[in-house]
Structure formats: C-alpha cells, structure tokens
Amino acid sequence: MRSKTLLTCVSQVLDQSGLQQGALFHEDSGTHLLRHDATTSQNATVYRPVLCLVLQGAKEVGSSARTLQVKAGQSLIVSHALPVLSRITQATPETPYIALVFPLDLDLLRSLAPAVLPTSDSRPSDPFSIHLCETDKEIEDALRRYFGQCETDAARRLLAPITAREIHARLLMGPHGETLHKLLWHESTASRIFQATRDIQTHLAKAIVITDLARGVGMSSSTFFEQFKAVTGTSPLQYQKDLRLLRARDALQTSSAKVSEIAFGVGYESSAQFSREYARKFGRSPRQDREFAAVE
C-alpha cells in the first residue's frame, strides 16, 4: 500500500535521526515528523497553514469549541494560523503514532489556483479552518517520491521543487481543494478572516477593537464576529489571548527574561492576571512551567 510505503519512509527518516520520541524538523525536506509510543495529555500550540497526514495511530485536534478525531489514513489541512488543542489518542510502543506535517506555500498555491477550477458542490460548505478527509493516494505517492528526492543534493535541488509543486497542485485538485480555493480568493470570507488573523498576530500586544478589524476586511461588526468564530472556532478576543499565552510560553522556554517583562511584551497590563490566565491554560504557573521545561 502507498500509505504503508510512506509510513516506512518516514519511519526510516526518524530512525536515522536517532529520535525515538517527539517531533523532528527534517531540514532536507522542510517537513516536521512526529512519533510517540504512548497517548499524551492535551497540548496547546499554533498551527500555521499546513498539510498533516496521520500515518499510524490517531489524534484529537481542534479549538476550545470544536474537536476533530484524526486517524491513520486521514489528513487535515489547516488554512489559517490557529491556536489549537491536541492530544494523541492512539499509540503504543509496538504501533507508535506517526505523522507528517508538510508546510503550505501560499504564494505557490496562488500561482497554481487559476489553472484549477474548484469542484462544484451544492452542499453547504464548512467554514472551519481545519478540513479533515481521507488522504488522497496521489498525494501520498507524491510525498513518498518527494522524500526520496530529498536524500541527495542533486535531486533535492532539481527534482524536489518540481514534486513540491505537484503536491500543491494535487491539493488544489483533490478533496482539500475547496478549503484552499476559499482561502486564496481574496473576496472570500475565509480570505478576509485570514487577513484579520494576520493583523492580530502582527499587532499582538495591541488591544483588539472589533469595529476596526471588521472595517479593515469590509464587514459589519456583527458579521465579522460571527464569521471569525465560524472559521477559527473561537472569538477574536479569545484568539488573541490564546496567541499571547502561546507566544509568552515560547519566550519563557527560550529566554531568560523576567515573567513580568514577557507578560507586558505580549500585551498584558497586569502580571498577576497573566499568571492566572497562563496557569488556567497550561496547568502550571509561568515560573513552574519554565522550571519544568528546563528539566525535560
């Protein structure tokens, strides 16, 4: 089976890296590979526009308002930068959870989209920015070839970019195509919400004014609020809060800055409020989380 071939390919890359557990950034292919031999507790992170294939095991992923179950043989597209909660629900030492995350090049998708007509479907489409479906076998085959081409310098320079282009084209032509076309069409709701999320990320420490965000994407405040929640699974204020806390957590684990400095840097006016909301989200205070990360 092609899925097994891709699973074997990814497993071999993980074995060669020496990583038995956790996440690996595979520099030659620009992908992230994951392997876990046990289920995990819930983890909060930010998903950028990516294609994620679950090759073995299963996981649960979504926002605070909506959760999707992803099993082996399925893939998901994340079309917007999205704070998500996820946990691995099926994994054992004998059959570990293995997944492949392939980043999406939005500029490449935009260049290809005019040549691909979106499929017509009379059913109401789901606006949520995570789209789940059975994995396209042609995508699996292209990814298998892509990994093979990344093994040598010449093939990585000459052939891998061609196959990466094929992967993006097949995404537009396949089951994920509608989600991507909505994102790329500049007048679509998905595209407008994408612009709003980008504005929030760019000015993360700045207080949100819903009327200004709505006006910036050409919507009324009520329509903007409704559509933002439909696409991201959360409100604009909660979206900003989640991003602030995730960025603060990264700063805590990668810098020696004071907790208060980090809190103010992401937009909190009160260090005490920051600590309360941080502990509520991650289960530990900022100082405890920094100490925990240091001994991992």
Give yes or no: residues 232 and 280 share one domain: yes
Domain boundary among 145, 166, 183: 183
Count of beta carbons in the 10 Å neighbourhood of residue 62: 18
Supply the CATH number for residue 120's domain: 2.60.120.10
User: What pLDDT was estimated at residue 163?
Assistant: 98
How open is the CA angle 12-293-263, to the nearest 5 degrees? 125
Give yes or no: residues 117 and 202 share one domain: no
Give yes or no: residues 213 and 114 share one domain: no
Backbone angles phi and psi of 197, in degrees to 5: -65, -35
Count of domains forming the chain: 2
Give yes or no: residues 63 and 179 share one domain: yes
Say how far apart CA 101 and CA 45 lie, in whole Å: 14
Give yes or no: residues 253 and 174 share one domain: no
User: What pLDDT was estimated at residue 142?
Assistant: 96
Q: Write down the H helix ranges in the chain.
A: 2-17, 106-112, 137-149, 153-158, 160-173, 177-184, 189-202, 210-216, 221-232, 236-254, 259-265, 271-282, 286-295
Give yes or no: residues 10 and 135 share one domain: yes
Domain boundary among 122, 154, 183: 183
Say how far apart CA 236 and CA 255 lie, in whole Å: 28
Give yes or no: residues 145 and 232 share one domain: no
User: What pLDDT was estimated at residue 121?
Assistant: 52
Give yes or no: residues 90 and 212 share one domain: no
Structure tokens at 230: 């439909």
Give yes or no: residues 161 and 204 share one domain: no
pTM for this prediction: 0.83
Give yes or no: residues 215 and 173 share one domain: no
Give yes or no: residues 109 and 196 share one domain: no
User: What pLDDT was estimated at residue 1?
Assistant: 37
Give yes or no: residues 86 and 222 share one domain: no
Residue 22 belongs to domain spanning: 2-183
Tens place of pLDDT for every residue, the chain, 296 residues?
A: 344 589 999 999 999 999 889 999 999 999 999 999 999 988 888 888 999 999 999 999 987 778 899 999 999 999 888 898 899 999 999 999 999 999 999 999 989 998 887 655 544 467 888 999 999 999 999 999 999 999 999 999 999 999 999 999 999 999 999 889 888 876 788 889 999 999 999 999 999 999 999 999 999 999 999 999 999 989 999 999 999 999 999 999 889 999 999 999 999 999 999 999 999 998 889 999 888 776 65
Domain boundary among 165, 183, 201: 183
Supply the CATH number for residue 270's domain: 1.10.10.60
